[in-house]
Structures are given as C-alpha cells and as structure tokens.
C-alpha cells in the first residue's frame, strides 16, 4: 500500500497527459558515453539525490524511438512476420516494426517500415498508443499504429534481415499470445491495446 506523500513530494508533482507524475529528485553530475552505434548510445549517468546528497549511477541505453504497425487486410485479417532474431537465436512471430530516423515523425516511420518489411503501402494510419519498452535501462519509446487500405508494393529489407510475411485472423493472433506462440513484447502490447480499445469501435 502506498502511503501519503511528503510535502516536498507533493510540491514536486507535475501533470503530464492527464496523469499526476512525481518529478525526479536527481541531479546529473556527470555523463560518460561508453559507445555510440548506428541505433543506440550506451551511457553511465552519475547522479546526486537532491533530498539527501547521496550519489548513485545509472547505466542507460539511449535509443531514438521506434514504431510498430498492426496491418489490416480487412476487418478480420492482419499481417504478421516471422523474424529471425540473432540476439536470442530464435524466429519470433511479430508485427512489422522499425526505428525512427533522426527528425522523422512516428507516422512517417510507420509507413516506411511497413513497406520495407512487408511490401505493402497503407492508405490510412491510425494511432493506437505508445509505451516504453524497457524503461529501467532503455529510453526507447514505441509508437503503435494500425494500418488500413493495404496496397501491394515492394519490400526493402535491411542487410541481414530475414523476414517472412503471412496473414492471420486477428482473433487467432490474440489467441497466439495466450498459447505462447507470440512472445514479442511490442506485438503483444499492440494486439491487446487494439483489442481492448479499438476492436469494438
């Protein structure tokens, strides 16, 4: 059970998107950049607690953000992909997704990555929601979209990508979460958000 806020905590509360979120009470003393790659930057942040002066550090993976797309052929049928993931040595069932380029809007990224991974263009995109994928260590914010009015085009896979596209009933895809066939977090979150908040609208 969460107890009452101390006065200094109450003063630090800020409103964001209709929710009340406590403000962080740490000052950044020093930032070390350990590695800069094509998509991520690894940093160590040295922090000081404003309330008691204690020092601590956080290991952070800085990410530009990404999109995940739920493509609909019709009211009941969606596209999924079989994606070979080297990091875990498995082939996962996923929704199409991709990383934001510098200065790119999430909706433009969603349209681009849908075509690159599936070979389909969408005539309409609908925002589904957004979420942080692993906020303890990763800054990545994922933007989810539903795509409609698909038109056949060409794929443009990145070097090393091995992707197979297939169609499935939306209800069956949700059942595949329960059965453990779908284990990708962004795919699970997007399918369940759409089922909960949009499928009946």
pLDDT beyond 70 at 120: yes
For residue 100, which of 65, 144, 69 has the smallest C-alpha distance?
65
Q: Half-sphere exposure of 62 toward its Cβ, with a 13 Å CA cutoff?
A: 13
- Please give the average per-residue pLDDT across 31-49, as a whole number: 96
CA atoms of 174 and 119, how far apart (whole Å): 23
pLDDT level of residue 20 (50, 70, 90 thresholds): low
**Residue in 159, 161, 162, 164 annotated catalytic:** 159
Question: In terms of pLDDT, which residue wins out, 23 or 201?
Answer: 23
Which domains does the chain possess? 13-62 (no CATH), 66-197 (3.90.79.10)
- Please give the average per-residue pLDDT across 163-167, as a whole number: 95
pLDDT beyond 60 at 6: no
Question: In terms of pLDDT, which residue wins out, 72 or 23?
Answer: 72
140 has catalytic annotation: no
- Please give the average per-residue pLDDT across 33-62, as a whole number: 94
């Amino acid at each position: 059970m969460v107890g009452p806020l101390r006065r200094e905590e109450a003063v630090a509360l800020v409103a964001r998107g209709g929710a009340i979120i406590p403000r962080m009470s740490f000052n950044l003393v020093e930032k070390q950049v350990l590695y800069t790659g094509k998509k991520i930057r690894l940093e160590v942040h040295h922090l000081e607690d404003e309330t008691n002066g204690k020092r601590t550090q956080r290991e952070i993976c800085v990410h530009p953000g990404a999109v995940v797309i739920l493509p609909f052929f019709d009211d009941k049928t969606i596209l999924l992909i079989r994606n070979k993931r080297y990091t875990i040595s498995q082939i996962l069932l996923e929704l199409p997704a991709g990383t934001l380029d510098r200065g790119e809007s999430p909706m433009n990224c969603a349209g681009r990555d849908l075509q690159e991974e599936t070979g389909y263009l969408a005539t309409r995109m609908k925002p589904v929601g957004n979420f942080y994928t692993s906020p303890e260590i990763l800054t990545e914010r994922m933007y989810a979209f539903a795509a409609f009015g698909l038109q056949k085009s060409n794929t443009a896979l990145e070097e090393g990508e091995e992707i197979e596209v297939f169609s499935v009933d939306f209800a069956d895809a949700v059942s595949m979460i329960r059965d453990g066939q779908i284990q990708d977090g962004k795919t699970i979150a997007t399918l369940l958000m759409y089922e909960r908040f949009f499928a009946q609208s």
